[in-house]
Amino acid sequence: MNDIYNNITAVYGDAPPEEPARQLYFIEKCRSIVEKEEKRLGRKLKKCVCTFGCQMNAHDSEKIEGMLEEMGFADSKSEENADFIIYNTCCVRENAENKVYGNLGMLKHLKKSNPELKIALCGCMMQQESVINTIKEKYSYVDLVFGTHNLYKLPELLFSCLSTGKNTFEILQEHGKIVEDLPSVRHFRYKASVNIMYGCDNFCSYCIVPYVRGRERSRRPEDILNEIKALADDGVLEVCLLGQNVNSYGKGLDCDINFAKLLRMVNDIPKIRRIRFMTSHPKDLSDELIFAMRDCEKVCPHIHLPFQAGNNDILKKMNRKYTKEDYIALTDKLKSHIPEIAITTDIMVGFPGEYDVEDTLDIIRRVRFSGAFTFIYSKRTGTPAAVMENQVEPAVVKKNFNRVLETLNPIIYEINKEKTGKTYKVLAEDYSDHDPGLLTGRLEDNTLIHFKGSGNSIGKITNVKVTDCKTFYVLGEEEV
C-alpha cells in the first residue's frame, strides 16, 4: 500500500532529479511566486509554523521555517495575520490530536475571511490513514498535506500546490533516503538540536511512534560532526543530540561507530562547550556509554531515562525489555560513576491492567528524579495495547496519577532546595519571558534557572548562585 495518498500529478521536466538540488530548485520556483504576490499585494507574505509535538517535531519545524524563509516568507507571530499556516502535528496521545482538530476548526473562519490563505498539515498525525480520511471529509479547506517521510519535499509539494491551485496530498508509507543540507533556522541562538537518527524499532506496545516515524536509521557520523562544527562556527555553545533511542545509534551503518564513540567525537569539537542528548532507552544503556559520559567533560551530567512503569508484569506487557530491578540497578550504576548526575524520566499511568502504582512509586522514591514528564495512558489505534483487555477505568487512573505526582513533586522540590546557596555554571540564554529583569538559562544538570545578571552575559557560561527554589525551576544571582 505504498503512497496511496499521492495525488501529485505534475512532472517537472527541468528539475534536477537528485537531492538536495531538486528541493533547492523548487525553493527558487516558490520564491518567484512569493515575489509576484508581494508585488501584487504591496507587502511581504507571512508564514506561521505551529509545533504540536516533541523536541524532534520542534526540530523539524526549524527545517520547515528555514525552507519557507528561503522562499521569502516573513514571520507572522499569530495565525490571524498569516498568508501560509502550517501545523506540524503529533499523535502520541489523543489530546495532541484533538488540539490539532480544534485549531483546524478555527482556521476555517480565517480561510472564509481570507480565501487566499494557504493551510498545510504535516508531521506524525498525517501518517495515519484514518486522519487523512477525516481531513478529506471534514476539513477540505486544507491545501497541502504531507507526512514525516517526505518533509524534505516541502518546496516541491508547496510549488505544486501554489502553481496548480489544487489540494496537494503526499503521504509516503516508507521512509526514503536521509536528505542532508537543506536550509534550517534555529529557535535559540546559543543552543541547537541535531538529529543523529530517525525512527524507532522498539515497538513499545502502547506507542504509535514506530508506525508514524518508520524504521530506525542513523545519520552518518561525518554529516553529524560537520553540522555541529558549522553550528559552533555560528556561535552555538550547546548541542542536544536527538533520537527516539540514541543509545542504539550507529546500528546499520557500515562504519565502526556507536553512541559512546559519537559522544567522544563531538566532545573533541573545540568551540562546543556543552553536549546533551535525548532520549535514552534503559535496555540499551551500555557501560561504554556511561564511561563516555563520565570521561567527556562537555557531556552534561544529566540523563533523560524514561521508565514508564514500575511493575514487572506491566513492563513486560509494554514490551520495554527491562525489569524494575534492572532499572534501579542501572540508575545506581550511573550515580556511582557520575555522582552529580541528574536523572529525569517519563512515567505513564493507566496502561491496561495497571490498577495500582506501588512499584512506580517505589522507583520514584529510590531513584529520586530531578524531573519527570507524567502522562495518562492514551489508547492509540493500531498499537497492540489498544486491544488488550483490562483497560483501566478513568477514576482509578486519575487517583493513581495523583499519587504519582504527590510522590514525585516533593522529591523534585527537595533536590532543587539542596542547590540553594551553592554556585553553578549556567549558560545564560536570554532575558526571561516572564520577567525581563531576569536572565534565563540552565545549569549543567538541565535545571532551569531565572537569575539577576548582566545582559552582557547572554551567550556566555557564567557563575550563578542559587538563592531560592520552586518545584520546576530555581532562582539565582550572577556572581561577579
Q: Which helix (H) or strand (E) holds 100?
A: helix 94-113
Residue 17 Cβ vs ligand SAH, minimum distance, rounded to whole Å:
34
Pick out residues in 160-219 that bind ligand F3S (CB under 6 A): 209, 212-213
With CB under 5 to 8 Å by kind, the binding choice for 203 among ligand SAH, ligand F3S, ligand SF4, none is ligand SF4
Choice between 56 and 64, CB closer to ligand F3S = 56
Pick out residues in 94-133 that bind ligand F3S (CB under 6 A): 124
Pick out residues in 196-215 that bind ligand SF4 (CB under 6 A): 200, 202-204, 207, 209-210
- CB-count burial class (<10 Å; 0-12, 13-18, 19+) for 417: middle
With CB under 5 to 8 Å by kind, the binding choice for 124 among ligand SAH, ligand F3S, ligand SF4, none is ligand F3S
Residue 226 Cβ vs ligand SAH, minimum distance, rounded to whole Å:
26
With b meaning 16 or more CB within 10 Å and e meaning fewer, what string describes 346-384? ebbbbbbebeebebbbebbeebbbbbbeebbbbebeebb
Residues 6+ apart with CB under 8 A from 415: 342, 368, 370
Choice between 306 and 441, CB closer to ligand SF4 = 306
Q: Output the CA torsion sign for 133, 58, 64, 74.
A: positive
Binding of ligand SF4 at residue 20 (CB under 6 A)? no
Sole binder of ligand F3S in the list 8, 53, 249, 400 (CB under 6 A):
53
What is the C-alpha to C-alpha distance for residues 196 and 445, in angstroms, rounded to an integer? 21
Choice between 96 and 144, CB closer to ligand SAH = 96
Binding of ligand SF4 at residue 93 (CB under 6 A)? no
Q: Interacting stretch for ligand F3S, rule CB under 6 A, among 20-28, 88-96, 249-257, 443-451? A: 88-96
What grid cell was written down for 67? 525552507
What is the C-alpha to C-alpha distance for residues 327 and 332, in angstroms, rounded to an integer? 9
Pick out residues in 440-459 that bind ligand SF4 (CB under 6 A): none
Binding of ligand F3S at residue 57 (CB under 6 A)? yes
What is the C-alpha to C-alpha distance for residues 425 and 267, in angstroms, rounded to an integer? 18
With b meaning 16 or more CB within 10 Å and e meaning fewer, what string describes 290-323? bebbeebebbbbbbbbbbbbbbeebbebbebebb
Asked if 10 and 161 count as a contact pair (C-beta separation under 8 A), the reply is no
- Which strands sit side by side in the sheet containing 74-75, from one edge to the other? 74-75, 46-51, 84-89, 118-123, 144-146, 168-170
Binding of ligand F3S at residue 56 (CB under 6 A)? yes
With CB under 5 to 8 Å by kind, the binding choice for 210 among ligand F3S, ligand SAH, ligand SF4, none is ligand SF4
Choice between 97 and 284, CB closer to ligand F3S = 97
Closest residue by beta carbon to ligand F3S: 53
Asked if 246 and 218 count as a contact pair (C-beta separation under 8 A), the reply is no
What is the C-alpha to C-alpha distance for residues 309 and 201, in angstroms, rounded to an integer? 20
Preceding omega of 183 cis (within 30 degrees of 0): no
Q: Which positions lie near ligand SAH, rule CB under 6 A?
A: 92-93, 206-207, 209, 244-245, 279, 281, 306, 308, 346, 348, 375, 377-378, 380
Choice between 147 and 453, CB closer to ligand F3S = 147
The torsion defined by the Cα of 113, 114, 118 and 119, in degrees rounded to 10, comes to -20
Binding of ligand SF4 at residue 90 (CB under 6 A)? no
Residue 207 Cβ vs ligand SAH, minimum distance, rounded to whole Å:
4
Cα 27 from chain centroid? 25
Residues 6+ apart with CB under 8 A from 143: 118, 119, 120, 161, 167, 168
Binding of ligand F3S at residue 347 (CB under 6 A)? no
Residue 138 Cβ vs ligand F3S, minimum distance, rounded to whole Å:
21
Residue 305 Cβ vs ligand SF4, minimum distance, rounded to whole Å:
12
Pick out residues in 223-252 that bind ligand SF4 (CB under 6 A): 244-245
* Matching residue, cell 557531556: 299
Q: How far apart are the first and last CA of the chain?
A: 63
With CB under 5 to 8 Å by kind, the binding choice for 450 among ligand F3S, ligand SAH, ligand SF4, none is none
Pick out residues in 256-285 that bind ligand SF4 (CB under 6 A): 281
Asked if 47 and 76 count as a contact pair (C-beta separation under 8 A), the reply is yes
Residue 381 Cβ vs ligand F3S, minimum distance, rounded to whole Å:
13
Choice between 175 and 294, CB closer to ligand F3S = 175
> For 53-199, where are the E strands, in sequence order?
74-75, 84-89, 118-123, 144-146, 168-170, 191-195, 197-198
With CB under 5 to 8 Å by kind, the binding choice for 56 among ligand SF4, ligand SAH, ligand F3S, none is ligand F3S
- CB-count burial class (<10 Å; 0-12, 13-18, 19+) for 442: buried
Residue 212 Cβ vs ligand SF4, minimum distance, rounded to whole Å:
10
* Matching residue, cell 532551569: 448
Binding of ligand F3S at residue 90 (CB under 6 A)? yes
Closest residue by beta carbon to ligand SAH: 346
Sole binder of ligand F3S in the list 71, 91, 172, 239 (CB under 6 A):
91
Site residues (CB under 6 A) for ligand F3S? 53-54, 56-57, 90-92, 124, 209, 212-213
Site residues (CB under 6 A) for ligand SF4? 200, 202-204, 207, 209-210, 244-245, 281
